[in-house]
Amino acid sequence: MNATDLAEFMRSVQGEKDFTEEDAVKRMAELLLATQSSSNNSHYKNLKLRGFTHSSQQNPVLEPPMRGLDLPTFLKFLLNPNLNGPISPASQTITQDMKAPLSHYYIFASHNSYLTGNQLTSKCSTAPIVDALLSGCRVIELDCWEQHGKIKVLHGNTLTKSVGFEICIKAIKENAFKASNYPVIITIENHLKSELQKQAASVLKEILGDTMFIPTAEDRPPLMFQSPEDLKGRIIISDKPPGEPVGKQIAEEPRALSNVVKGALRRGDSDTDSLEGEESSNKETFGRKAQERVMEKVAHKMASIESRDCDNEVIPKVHEFEELLYIYCAKPSEMEERHVKGGPLLAGEHALMANLSEPQLGDLIKKHPNSLIEFAKTNLGRVYPFGLRFDSSNADPMAAWIHGIQVAAINMQGRDRAVWVAKAFFGMNGACGYVKKPDFLLPGSNMDVEKIKSLEPKLCLKVRVFLGTDWHRNYDLLKKPDYYVKVAIHGVPRDQVKKHTKVKYRSREPHWEEEFEFRIRVPELAVLRLEVREHDKFARDDMVGQACMPVTCLRQGIRAVALQSKKGAPRRSKLLCSFELHPL
């Protein structure tokens, strides 16, 4: 295959219409620099690639680019995620209008940003704050408490080990704009007495300096939020009322406790679960039911203790601290003049941020879903994980996003599917941490939940899974592994689909050659998940690797998909897949 052949392949099969022979020469040279000859070409022999026919019998030797590529080297090109990845280079730049109010954008947000692990006993540190910022998060949460007369950041009423407020602010200042120039929002859950609030305000002014956006008196709170473009390079301060006591969360949505407990017991959710449709044995089911009952009793006991500790807390308002706030955050119970308990969420004259627990969001989705959409057209909405997610797991952020709620706070240390999906979703728009909401969720639209549910498909996505290779470890000591691939779409409810390939038994380099078709109604919110598992007949299946990609950023053609670990670490394991996208 010479440069002319490669250029034609890239245009006709890979869909890169402007790919020239000069581009082909450059790509071939990059390939020769990036790869070395491999003696193991077994995974090339049985691969049938649409759009390419092997017509030569050259030896697998790397040749100078002008002389062309032999078949093994061409397949190395196809299997190189850096040269032939599935994500469009255009997604690495800002492609959306950034001059609309903040309420028009989803914002990448972390929850309890300072925690290194679980919500009860883990250490507090600046390291997860830095990691979140470098991952593109634009909302950092700090819970501020008094310890020995000093301001400390920790998860209150737990055994978490605190970290200093000042060093957290320094870490934010130093790393705020390394991943993105668009505004960072520090949400401060304030449990401080008056003098310490004044001290916190002084620390913020001293460390952040001119990067801190201080609103005028007329803009506290504003009638309408400024845009990400107007606030570029600035750090915004937001308050955040203490979350609803867990006991109250349980009372408002009793099923939330049961759902969280069940999720915790099968934290195989993103680590060790098996093929969908497989049923547990009666013995396993009985044991799990018993565990659920024990965990629910423990949860109720801890909830009663937390509620007792929070009942008498009164936080004074201090001018020196209040004057720094641009985004005022309130619980529905604090919007009493326009919110009736159990009623819809209603917008007021000024723009603010509603602070919703996971159960509160679920209750509003069930009873008043359209009020969420209308409220979030001019205001911000924030939803935080249920208080009993002690393991730092997460709810599905799509539940918030499809109702226009911009800030789905994620326990980034949770490392579950919600984290994978959020990272992929915010990989759009140059990974700047802000993604424009679909038009039907913006002011001027009259779309409600029922109309959204009745949307017709706009895009047909076909995913063909060819093979997997370069596995980073052996999963069975006594036999060859049994791999399969889960293929799923995350998005609006009617777009959410889960499928999987057949299990390829006893194969170190499995060839599936299976195609899956998805008809997608809201491509702007759709995320494709590929997840490789190693099947085990007598135990839960092993997690091999995963890759999540925004559907609107996918490139057509035969592409190499690099896999990551559950924690998001890169692995050498990869899949070879083809993608076809057809507007409907």
Chain mean position to CA 206: 33
pTM of structure: 0.88
Annotated catalytic residue, options 104, 111, 191, 368: 111
Q: Give the strand pairing for 150-153 and 139-147.
A: antiparallel
3-state SS class at 264 = helix
- Render 342-364 in DSSP notation, one character per residue: TS-----SS--EEEEEHHHHHHH
Q: What is the DSSP string of 22-51?
A: HHHHHHHHHHHHH----S--HHHHT---TT
Kindly list the distances between the CA atom of residue 52 and the CA atoms of 49, 55, 153, in Å, as whole numbers in the listed order. Answer: 6, 9, 58
Residue 326 has pLDDT above 60, yes or no: yes
How much of the chain exceeds pLDDT 70, in percent? 82
Band of the pLDDT at 309, cuts 50, 70, 90?
A: low
Residue type at 213? Answer: F
Check residue 141 and give its pLDDT: 97
pLDDT tens digits along 89-98 = 989 999 999 9
Of the pLDDT bands very low, low, confident and very high (cuts 50, 70, 90), residue 248 is: low
Which DSSP category does 281 fall into? P
More confident residue, 262 or 526: 526
Interval 152-165 mean pLDDT = 96
pLDDT digits (tens, 9 = 90+) for 168-221: 999 999 999 999 999 999 999 999 999 999 999 999 999 999 999 999 999 999
Residue 17, both tokens: 């219409």
pLDDT at 124: 97
Beta-strand pair 434-436/459-469: unpaired
Does residue 1 carry a pLDDT above 60?
Answer: yes
Superfamily of domain 455-583: C2 domain (2.60.40.150)
579: pLDDT strictly greater than 70: yes
For residues 123-136, give the mean pLDDT.
Answer: 97
Instruction: Please give the average per-residue pLDDT across 210-237, as a whole number.
Output: 97
- pLDDT-derived band of residue 305, with 50, 70 and 90 as boundaries? low
DSSP tally for the chain: helices H, then strands E: 17, 20
Q: For this structure, is 472 an active site residue?
A: no
Per residue in 20-79, pLDDT (tens digit) is 999 999 998 888 887 654 444 444 444 444 444 444 444 444 344 456 788 888 999 999
Cα–Cα distance, 38 to 55 (Å, whole number):
21
pLDDT tens figures, 470-484: 998 888 777 899 999
Pick 474 or 552 by higher pLDDT: 552
Sort residue 477 into left (φ over 0), alpha (ψ -120 to 50) or beta.
alpha
How sure is the predictor about 466, in pLDDT bands with cuts at 50, 70 and 90?
A: very high
pLDDT at 538: 83
For 555-581, what is the mean pLDDT? 96
Q: Before 493, cis peptide (omega within 30)?
A: no
* pLDDT at residue 429 greater than cutoff 60: yes
Is 155 annotated as catalytic?
Answer: yes
Report d(CA 364, CA 191) in Å as an integer: 28
Task: Name the DSSP letter for residue 410.
Answer: B
What is the per-residue pLDDT for 37? 47
292 band by pLDDT with thresholds 50, 70 and 90:
low
Q: What SS3 class is residue 209?
A: helix
Q: Is the pLDDT confidence value at 355 over 70? A: yes
| Residue that wins the pLDDT comparison between 332 and 418 | 418
Place of tokens 């679980």: 118
- Give the 3-state secondary structure of residue 319: helix
Q: Give the pLDDT confidence score for residue 279 in this predicted structure.
A: 41
Statement: residue 259 has pLDDT above 80 = no
Secondary structure element (H or E) that encloses residue 530, with its range: strand 527-534
Predicted pLDDT of residue 237: 98
Is residue 502 within 8 A of residue 533, CB to CB? The reply is no
**Cβ partners under 8 Å of residue 323, min gap 6:** 201, 214, 217, 220
Question: Which one of the listed residues 43, 104, 155, 403 is annotated catalytic?
Answer: 155
What pLDDT is attached to residue 281? Answer: 45
**299 — pLDDT class (breaks 50, 70, 90):** low
Report the C-alpha gap between 486 and 558 in whole angstroms.
Answer: 18
Percent of the chain topping pLDDT 90:
70
**Structure confidence at residue 155 (pLDDT):** 95
Instruction: Indicate whether 83 pLDDT > 90.
Output: yes
Strands of 235-239's sheet in order across: 163-164, 150-153, 139-147, 184-190, 235-239, 325-327
CB 467 within 8 A of CB 43: yes
Mean pLDDT, to the nearest integer, of 414-439? 96
Per-residue pLDDT at 284: 47
Of residues 8 and 60, the one with the higher pLDDT is: 8
Please tell me the predicted confidence (pLDDT) of residue 63.
45
Condensed to tens digits (0 to 9), the pLDDT of residues 518-535 reads: 999 999 999 999 999 999
Give the residue-averaged pLDDT of 123-129: 98
List 514's β-bridge partners, or say none. Answer: 465
Tell me, what's the pLDDT at 51? 43
CATH, domain range 105-242+317-441: 3.20.20.190
Residue given tokens 């599936």 in the structure block: 512
pLDDT digits (tens, 9 = 90+) for 445-455: 999 999 999 99
User: Mean pLDDT, the chain, as a whole number?
Assistant: 87
Give residue 273's pLDDT band: very low, low, confident or very high (50, 70, 90). low
330: DSSP letter: E
Query: What mean pLDDT comes out for the span 558-570?
Result: 95
Determine the residue type at 507: S
